[in-house]
A and B are shown apart, each in its own frame.
Chain A
Amino acid sequence: MKISARRIDTSTILDVSGNIDMSNSPEIRKVLLRELREKGVSRVVLNLSAVDYIDSSGVASLVEGLKASRESGSRFVLFGLSDSAREVLKISRLLKLFEVFDDEAQAMGSKAPSV
């Protein structure tokens, strides 16, 4: 798995490639929490279009990212989910909790959902 970061205005886009499983999910957790807690960006956008597979430990990392974003008042947005990634979030009943978009343009053009 590889993760690279792009900064656009006050948002960070994290481009992830490869599969996310028990062997590397701590890495994505670390990067997400660094962006959300330490760098304090207003929005973290996770590009999953080059990720075929996410296991439950990867889902746990995403949930930690979501919680950190809520605590810091920032947004945590996903786009480019594969069928497998969408299914694992659905079976975990977590899909509706995340802001999920088809592509980067939609994700970057989106506004925070009203509470």
Chain B
Amino acid sequence: MTSIAAKHPRDSKKSLKWNRAFLLKLELRSQPGLLCVIRGALAPLMEMLEFSGEHVREIIRAVDEAVANIMRHSYHGRLDQPIEVYCNRLHRESNGQTEQAIEILLFDCGPAVDTTKLAARPLDEVKPGGLGLHIIRGSMDTVEYKRAGRLNRLRLVKFVRPSKAGSAQEKLS
């Protein structure tokens, strides 16, 4: 079993630079049966970072769909290909207050993604399939794709803030 870092040492330097302050790294093969493992690992981490229940579900949904897309479209169903998931806590100053976020980076060694095909399909037509990208974009604050050397990198960011349900409850109390 070869890791992405071992397979592409030059590219992995960039990965090392990015993951320096990461909270968690997951390295897995492209097996759909492992999706539940990712969900199971991320849920307690997001709860620890004080995301609301609604936002934990959104983050897990986005990462799950992103990894499933890698398995389906980047690796075309091959089961032995490497995928790496890095999680990092982010901070930013905004109006004198510190905002916190989670940054999730996903790497795979598949061919470069044709970015012209990254448009989510219109939802007006009721048909199965093609919902993954729409779900990812609707769940995260930032979704960025980048070709990094011979790797595909997807960057997902979600800021910690009260959920709509949480805000409503706070107003009522």
**Interface of A toward B, CB cutoff 8 Å:** 19, 21-23, 53, 55-57, 59-61, 63-64, 66-67, 83-84, 87-88, 91-94, 97
Contact B131 A21 (CB under 8 A): no
- The size of the chain B interface, using a CB distance under 8 A, is 27
B contacts with A: majority SS: helix
The segment from B8-16, B29-37, B91-99, B101-109 found at the interface with A is B29-37
B41-74 interface bits toward A, Cβ cutoff 8 Å, 1 = contact, 0 = none: 0000000000001100110110011001001100
Residues of A within 8 A of B57 (CB): 83-84, 87
Contact B61 A84 (CB under 8 A): yes
Contact B131 A92 (CB under 8 A): yes
Select from chain B the residue with minimum beta-carbon distance to A54.
Answer: B61
CA distance A93 to B123 in the complex (A): 7
**Interface of B toward A, CB cutoff 8 Å:** 32-33, 35-36, 39, 53-54, 57-58, 60-61, 64-65, 68, 71-72, 123, 126-129, 131-132, 134-135, 138-139
Q: Which of A22, A61, A63, A92 contacts B134, CB < 8 Å?
A: A92
Contact B123 A63 (CB under 8 A): no
A contacts with B: majority SS: helix
Residues of A within 8 A of B134 (CB): 91-92
Contact B32 A61 (CB under 8 A): no
B124 to chain A, nearest CB (A): 8
Knowing A92-B134, A92-B135 touch, does A23 contact B32 (C-beta < 8 A)?
yes
CA distance A64 to B132 in the complex (A): 16
Contact A22 B36 (CB under 8 A): no
Select from chain A the residue with minimum beta-carbon distance to B35.
Answer: A21
Select from chain B the residue with minimum beta-carbon distance to A92.
Answer: B131
Residues of A within 8 A of B35 (CB): 21-23, 55
Knowing A88-B135, A91-B134, A92-B135 touch, does A63 contact B65 (C-beta < 8 A)?
no
Instruction: Name 15 extra pairs, CB < 8 A, besides A21-B68, A53-B64, A83-B57.
Output: A22-B68, A22-B72, A23-B33, A53-B39, A55-B64, A55-B65, A55-B68, A56-B135, A60-B129, A63-B127, A63-B128, A64-B128, A87-B61, A91-B135, A93-B123
